[in-house]
Structure 1
């Protein structure tokens, strides 16, 4: 088993497969390093693929204090894993919590990022729902800590943006729910309190996003309601951003629609590596409806 040591001494488990241009996959709150199996199986054929368990997720360390968890730390952990693996730069692919971490890695460590994919990233970003999100996050943290992951997992796994996965792929969803029930309960609670509840809104980072030069692909499901508007916002402010909306889809995109996810990711990386994922053509003026002269 391979472990990276983060800058604060926390041990982070990682694994890798394949050779080629590196891709690092960053998991969501409800998943872990195992969440990316459909992607590692596909992309390891032509890329060096890295995935890791975030702090709080076994077999990585589970710090006892929520103060050891933060959005900044999550972004820095990505780079610490890359450094441990001897990788200078990589394509960074994240889902949900991992999508936020990927975006922050792009802001904090632009020199280590070849491109960014942020899928299902938006929860808590909407300014109108900030207080509600913090309150419901505390309830989730308390449920994990007091009831335990095994008891609370079936409830969490049937959230409004996860039932799409359950409807399409009951076996895949059942495996997701079963593995969620194996999470470290304290690690889940601390992650929710330290990372999810305290991270800044994407809308408060506009200056940084407007200056970001890394190619970015935002993916969202059309039934993942609280990620749609943040996805549109990123499309409008990040210079080299594309937006992909998955029809009749929820939050867990890489598991719910693995073939579509892999196809879009492969095309994105191919265009980036060919130097073809540029800024929007200035002639494509969003204020124009039809050209008349």
Structure 2
């Protein structure tokens, strides 16, 4: 079932499914909730799943001006406060992962645990394996046909608005996000950083993200591209649910997670 929420920034379409602890699924750029199809039923069997479609995506209208991750993060904060009604787990894929990170940084009180899949914290020229791919993307091009068809099927602004949205998203990717490792260090929620071994983002960039987020785990999914939730849904679901259910990470030989040594010269007995 779907409905609209009148948020301060944009009237936002969302769907809900299941019961239990709240979990918000944040789709990727150019996408709709349909791209969660391989995961949502399994997650809804354990959680109360909320699926908002961000501004200029799916059933949610565009708004005047450029797109920004910060505006979409602000929309998500409003969604958590008014629709979810409090803190939730966030699972974000691609652009949705960027939004999840921004929310976790700004509003730790609203984020229980976070999963980011194929996400980046720097703009595409700094993190894409093939940064030049943006130069070949055009609204009418074959490389965006899959996304164009999804948009045209449900967009309240009409199919003719697609070129505007496509240009906005591509422009956003060129200069955003602009987070630093210091920003990522402010994420308090336990995090799972997931990426395909043949993702759009370089593995080096993903590892930098993982290392910067204090309470994080890293999963490099073998035989997968940027479309991990579509290509490896069973494994993706297991990794997500294991992370959400896990209290603390305990390993036999911790290095990164080793307890900090006690300060020298402790108090005398």
- Smaller-chain TM-score range? 0.7 to 0.9
Which of 240, 251, 256 lines up with 1:265 in the alignment? 240
What is the aligned partner in structure 2 of residue 13 from structure 1?
13
TM-score norm. by structure 1 comes to 0.75
| Residue 192 (1) aligns with residue 164 (2) | no
Aligned-residue offset at 1:217: 0.4
TM-align CA RMSD:
2.9
TM-score norm. by structure 2 comes to 0.81
Aligned-residue offset at 1:251: 0.2
Q: Which whole-Å deviations, capped at 9, do the CAs of 1:265-288 have from their partners, x for residues lacking one?
A: 0100010xxx21489432699xxx
What is the aligned partner in structure 1 of residue 201 from structure 2?
226
- Paired residues in the alignment total 248
Secondary structure in structure 1 of the residue aligned to 2:77: helix
Distance (whole Å) between structure 2 residues aligned to residue 196 and residue 209 of structure 1: 19
Aligned-residue offset at 1:128: 4.7
Distance (whole Å) between structure 1 residues aligned to residue 195 and residue 239 of structure 2: 12
| Shift in alpha-carbon separation, 1:3–1:241, aligned structure 2, 3 A | same
**Structure with the higher helix share, 1 or 2:** 1
Secondary structure in structure 2 of the residue aligned to 1:3: strand
| Shift in alpha-carbon separation, 1:45–1:207, aligned structure 2, 3 A | same
| Shift in alpha-carbon separation, 1:13–1:236, aligned structure 2, 3 A | same
Distance (whole Å) between structure 2 residues aligned to residue 230 and residue 118 of structure 1: 13
Distance (whole Å) between structure 1 residues aligned to residue 87 and residue 169 of structure 2: 26
Aligned-residue offset at 1:27: 0.7
Q: Which whole-Å deviations, capped at 9, do the CAs of 1:218-245 have from their partners, x for residues lacking one?
A: 0011111524112111222211110000
Which of 211, 216, 238 lines up with 1:241 in the alignment? 216
Distance (whole Å) between structure 2 residues aligned to residue 128 and residue 253 of structure 1: 22
- Is the CA contact (8 Å cut-off) linking 2:121 and 2:177 kept in structure 1? no
Q: Which whole-Å deviations, capped at 9, do the CAs of 1:24-57 have from their partners, x for residues lacking one?
A: 0011114212111222211111210011111102
What is the aligned partner in structure 2 of residue 111 from structure 1?
109
Q: Which whole-Å deviations, capped at 9, do the CAs of 1:50-74 have from their partners, x for residues lacking one?
A: 11111102311122432xx211111
| Residue 253 (1) aligns with residue 228 (2) | yes
Distance (whole Å) between structure 2 residues aligned to residue 129 and residue 250 of structure 1: 15
- Is the CA contact (8 Å cut-off) linking 2:31 and 2:57 kept in structure 1? no
What is the aligned partner in structure 2 of residue 291 from structure 1?
none
What is the aligned partner in structure 2 of residue 4 from structure 1?
5
Which of 87, 91, 95 lines up with 2:89 in the alignment? 91
What is the aligned partner in structure 1 of residue 265 from structure 2?
none
